[in-house]
Structures are given as structure tokens and as C-alpha cells.
Amino acid sequence: MKYCKSKQAGFTLIEMAVVLVVLGILIGGAIKGKDILQKAKVNNLASDFQFYSGLYYQYKDQNGYLASSLIDSAIEGDGTIWALFRQAGLMPKSAIDGSSDNTNPVHSFDDEFTYTHAPAEGAVFDQAYICAENVVLSAAREVDLKLDDGLAKSGNIRISTEDEVYPTTAEALAAETSLCQRL
């Protein structure tokens, strides 16, 4: 009788281990990449707050008065401080984001900055302020820690919710809020 050696089909243990290691590296890289992207957005948002706050006072240095003193008399409507900054040459008319004079600038979380000149009762601040609209709460907390006291309802940077502290659950931190800075 003749015995035939059959070829065994399948993968060796070493081949499977190599595949698992490669998959682990790819998944780890994707997760780390997401974290890096989030940190970049937070850093850009913090830089934007510093930039626009600086423009507010640079306008005063350049013109002798705050831009907010012209809002009521010169130009009507929301977002007009951005027009004053652009008209003064302090803020570019961007071809990238299509900004016209009265367009609110866009932040790194793909929504607008807004400006409030004369806050109503119960507003985030009792004086002029800017807000980045629809920012993920976890990012808002990181910006607050980076630029201010890290507390939700005190200091120069605040969130526009009724909560006195930042939430701690993953679900709550994924919600969006307005992050505001006093000028």
C-alpha cells in the first residue's frame, strides 16, 4: 500500500500571531490618530479664543475705542464685530472659509464664533463676550483648563449650560455646548 501525504490546509500559529499583531498595530494607530486630531482641534480652538480676544483690544489700541462702542450706532445685526475687525485690516477676508465682512468666523469644530455685545439677564457673562458654538463638552473642558480655571461656570471662559461643573460621564462629555470667553 502507498500512503499519500496530504497537504494540510490552513494557517500556522505563527502566521496567525503575525496577522493579529499587525491588526493590533493598525487599530492602535487609528485610535491614537483620533486622539491626535482631537488635541489639534482643542489647540486650534484655544488659539482662536486668544486671537479674537487679542483683536478686540488691538482694535482699541489702533482706533482709540473698543469696537463694541460702534456696534449699536454703526452696524446692525449679529456678528458685526467681525466686520469691524475685517474693515480695520485686523482679520483677513478669507478665501478659504468664504468670509464676507459680516460672516462669523468658523472654529475647528466646524461651527461659528458668535459675539454678544449687550448681554441679556441670565447670560453667560454680564459684559461683551464671544462664543464658539457647538463644541463637544470634553473639548470645552480641555480649552477651559488650558486657558482659564477649568471650572464650568467661573472665570473668563465658561460653558453656556446650567451645570456648575463639567460632567464626568462619557455620554455627557460627548454632548455639545457653547464655550464662551469674556472680553
Per the prediction, the chain carries an average pLDDT of 83
0.85 cut: is pTM over it? no
Task: For 127-153, write each residue's pLDDT tens digit.
Answer: 889 999 999 999 999 999 999 999 988
pLDDT value, residue 74: 46
Residue 54: CB atoms within 10 A of its CB come to 11
The answer on pLDDT for 49 being more than 90 is yes
Longest dimension (CA), the chain: 107
Give the list of residues 6+ apart from residue 82 with CB closer than 8 angstroms, or none.
91, 99, 101, 102, 103, 104, 105, 113, 115
Q: Give the pLDDT band (50/70/90) at residue 5.
A: low
pLDDT value, residue 110: 92
The answer on pLDDT for 82 being more than 90 is no
When pLDDT is averaged across residues 23-47 and rounded to a whole number, the result is: 90
Spell out the domains of the chain, with CATH numbers in brackets: 14-182 (3.30.1690)
For 135, which DSSP code? E
Task: For 92-135, write each residue's pLDDT tens digit.
Answer: 776 445 555 557 889 999 999 988 887 777 788 888 899 999 99
